[in-house]
Amino acid sequence: MTRSTVFAPFDMVEGDRAKGLVLLADHARRELPQEYGDLGLPAAEFGRHIAYDIGVEAVTRELAALTGAPAVLAGFSRLLIDPNRGEDDPTLIRQLYDGTIVPGNYPLAEEERERRLENFYRPYHDAVAAMIASVAEAAGQAPLILSVHSFTPVMQGRIRPWHVGILWDKDGRAPRPLIEALAADGSLVVGDNEPYDGALRGDTMFKHATANGLAHALVEIRQDLIADGAGALAWAERLAPIVDAINRRPDIHEVRMFGSRTDRA
C-alpha cells in the first residue's frame, strides 16, 4: 500500500445535488494512516475482504458518473475502525476477522479507541450527514440514499450463491423495486437481506436513513463480479437505470418513520 503523510478520512465525488440522490461507500478503501503501519498484518491481508469491500470504490464512482449523483466514500480500512457499525458495537474495531488476528488492535486501550472514533469514524459520518443535508436543501425534498457494498463469495467455508443482495430494515420503498428489477433480469440470484440482515442498529443506514425517515437501500454485490474495472462498470450500468427510475418516484422523497425491526422486543 502507498500512504500519504496527509490522510483524509473520507473522499467525495461531486455531482448534481438537486437530483435528490446520495451514494455512500463505507468500505471503499483499504488504506491506513502512516502512523498505524500495517496493524501488524502481512501485506496480503489487505487484498482480502477483511480490509475493504473489493470493487466498491470503482462501482460507486462509475454509478456516480452515470446517475450524476454525489458520493461520499470512507478513506480508511475497516480494519482500523468500521464506519458501518455503531460506536458501541463490539465489532467496531475487530481483533479477529475471518480467521485473521489483527495484532495492532489487540490489546486496544480506551484512549486509542476514542482517538480512532474522533479522527476517522466521526469525520466520515459528519461528511455523510452534511452531504445528505446539502442534497435535501438543493433538491427541496428528502433524498434517496444508496449504500454500495460487496461480499466475499465464500465466508467461513460457506459458499454464497447470490450475485447481489439488497439489505433493508422496515422501509421497503427502495429495496422492493430494486429486488424486483434485478430479479427480472432472469440471470441473477438476488438476495433479500442476504448475505446479511439489513436491520443493524447503529450502522450507517440506521444512523442516517432509518432514524430520519429517509428512503434507502444497501446494495451488496459479490466481489468476484466487480473485482476488475469491466465488472465494476457493468454493474454500475446495470444499477444506474434502476436507481434513476426509483429516484423519480414521488413517495421516495417523503419522510416516513417506519421504525425499525431492531426496536422489536
CATH number of domain containing 58: 3.40.630.40
In the numeric block, which cell numbers belong to residue 248?
Answer: 423519480
Question: From CA 93, how far away is CA 115, in angstroms rounded?
Answer: 12
pLDDT at 264 over 60: no
Answer yes or no: is 263 within a domain.
no
| Structural domain contains residue 4 | no
The share of the chain scoring above pLDDT 90, in percent, equals 91
Domain span at 130: 10-252
Residues 174-197, mean pLDDT to the nearest whole number? 97
> For the chain, how big is the Rg over CA atoms in Å?
18
> Is residue 183 one of the residues assigned to a domain?
yes
Q: What is the 3-state secondary structure (H, E, C) of 218-241?
A: EEEEEHHHCCCHHHHHHHHHHHHH
Query: Looking at residue 193, what is its pLDDT?
Result: 97
pLDDT, tens digit, 9 for 90 and up, residues 17-42:
999 999 999 999 999 999 999 999 99
Tens-digit pLDDT profile for residues 144-182: 999 999 999 998 888 999 999 999 999 999 999 999 999
In a domain, 217, yes or no: yes
Pairing of strands 71-74, 21-25: parallel
The answer to whether residue 61 is domain-embedded is yes
Considering only the C-alpha atoms of the chain, give the largest distance between any 2 of them, rounded to a whole number of Å: 51
Determine, yes or no, domain membership for 2. Answer: no
Q: What does the pLDDT look like over 228-257, one tens digit per residue? A: 999 999 999 999 999 999 999 999 999 999
- In total, how many domains does the chain have? 1
Residue 258 lies in a domain: no
- Average the pLDDT over 178-207 and give the result: 95
CA–CA dist 170, 172 (Å, integer): 6
pLDDT of the residue at 241: 98
